Amino acid sequence: MDASATEVLNAPSLPEAKTVGAASTLVEPDGDIQSSALVKWTIVLAVATVILALSSTWAIFQTRHDARELLSVRISNELDKQFDSAEFRHSRAQFAAALRDHREPKDYRVLDFLEKAALYVRHGAIDDDTAYSQFSYYVERYWLASRDLIRTYREREKDPGYYDDLEDYYKSLTKSGKRSERPDEIQIQAFLREETELE
């Protein structure tokens, strides 16, 4: 047997040819087919897992966002209800009369309420737009009318932190540009007169 014949016999065998109609195709060995299919299904599974994880994360985020909005609405409604209750209207009238007459108030419930509302705003429990529409008018006027009283109270209690959230919220109204001009003394006195007539 000559050398050329030996080379032909020792050459690697080619994949079997399968005839379909007039065309012939090469069929890979079974091991290669299974390996290729396994890689494809692994990729599909990985992509599906990523999509599921992203969907779950979005659902959790949306649920938390909705819950936070619902809580904000509930808190603002409760504050509004308390602020306009008959009992609190009496407190507002008494407090405004003391400020108007430059007397020591019997209690500080009005400032305590506004401080609590400002605290909710700072922590994001009430959104800025809701707080602005419901309380900014009162925060601005009560803060300006009470500044000297609060300063004296802080000095007496030796605690400069009293009503600092209220003060910060008042300052934020000016910085935000929503309140271009603060009320003058005549407007503040008119406001206090209106509050004293709530009873």
Long-range contacts of 190-198 (CB under 8 A, 24+ apart): 191/96, 191/141, 191/145, 192/96, 192/97, 192/99, 192/100, 192/141, 192/145, 193/96, 193/100, 195/92, 195/93, 195/95, 195/96, 196/93, 196/96, 196/97, 196/100, 197/93, 198/89, 198/90, 198/92, 198/93
pTM, full prediction: 0.65
Q: Phi and psi dihedrals of 123, rounded to 5?
A: -90, 0
Half-sphere exposure of 70 (CA within 13 A, CB side): 6
Q: 12-47 burial by CB neighbour count: b if 16+ within 10 A, else e? A: eeeeeeeeeeeeeeeeeeeeeeeeeeeeeeeeeeee
Q: Supply the pLDDT for residue 154.
A: 95
Closest of 112, 75, 120 to residue 92, by C-alpha: 112
What tens-digit pLDDT sequence spans the chain (199 residues)?
Answer: 544 444 444 545 444 444 444 444 444 455 566 777 777 788 877 787 777 777 666 656 555 555 667 667 798 899 999 999 999 999 999 999 999 999 999 999 999 999 999 999 999 999 888 889 899 999 999 999 999 999 999 999 999 999 999 999 999 987 766 666 789 999 999 999 999 999 7
pLDDT, position 37: 75
User: For residue 145, which of 184, 99, 114 has the smallest C-alpha distance?
Assistant: 99
pLDDT of residue 64: 59
